[in-house]
Amino acid sequence: MITQGVRVTGRCSSCGGTTTCDVGQFFDHGMLCWGTEGRCADCPNTWCEKDSGLVTPENIREVLLQAHGPARLRLSGDVPSLVPVLQALRDAHELSLGEARARATELAETGLIGTLVEMEVLAVHLRNRAIAVSVESAA
Ligand SMILES: [Zn+2]
């Protein structure tokens, strides 16, 4: 399982006390999932939200990107044709052909940027099609 998380503190909306919240993204059984789970130290206020899907809510991505910095996915060798890259990107993200083409070009030229889990998920799809890629810190 590929996972990345961060614990953030905040202020409780019910009592004004200190809350801690675990925010994370993970890749499990072929699904990109995200979750946030928080509790207040001073009152019974708790919350938990979990879901999976192609797009993680932007506030969760921001927290992860701020805490860990972005990751960059790059092709690690020469790719004779972008066709398998296109196919892998479409598998991963249900992109239109035009969108996939733009992403594939970006990947070949500068690499793609996102959260570590998002880039690792794409890497899995690309490696499934025998395309060598690497994920590194983009900070
Ligand atoms: Zn509270």
> Residue 94 — very low, low, confident or very high, per pLDDT cuts 50/70/90?
confident
Listed in order, strand segments (DSSP E) in 57-111 are: 71-75
**Domains delineated in the chain:** 2-68 (no CATH), 71-137 (3.30.1390)
- Vertex 59, ends 57 and 65: CA angle to 5°? 105
CA 46 – ligand 1 centroid, Å: 8
| pLDDT tens per residue, range 98-113 | 999 999 999 999 999 9
Please, what is the average pLDDT of the chain?
94
Ligand 1 mean position, distance from CA 25 (Å): 25
13 CA to middle of ligand 1, Å? 7
Task: Please state, in angstroms and rounded to a whole number, the distance separating the CA atoms of residues 134 and 9.
Answer: 33
pLDDT of residue 139: 75
If you measure from the C-alpha of residue 40 to the centroid of ligand 1, how many angstroms do you get, rounded to a whole number?
A: 5
pLDDT at residue 104, as a whole number: 95
CA–CA dist 29, 107 (Å, integer): 25
d(C-alpha 131, C-alpha 95), whole Å: 19
pLDDT at position 108: 94
Q: How far is the CA of 19 from the centre of ligand 1 (A)?
A: 7
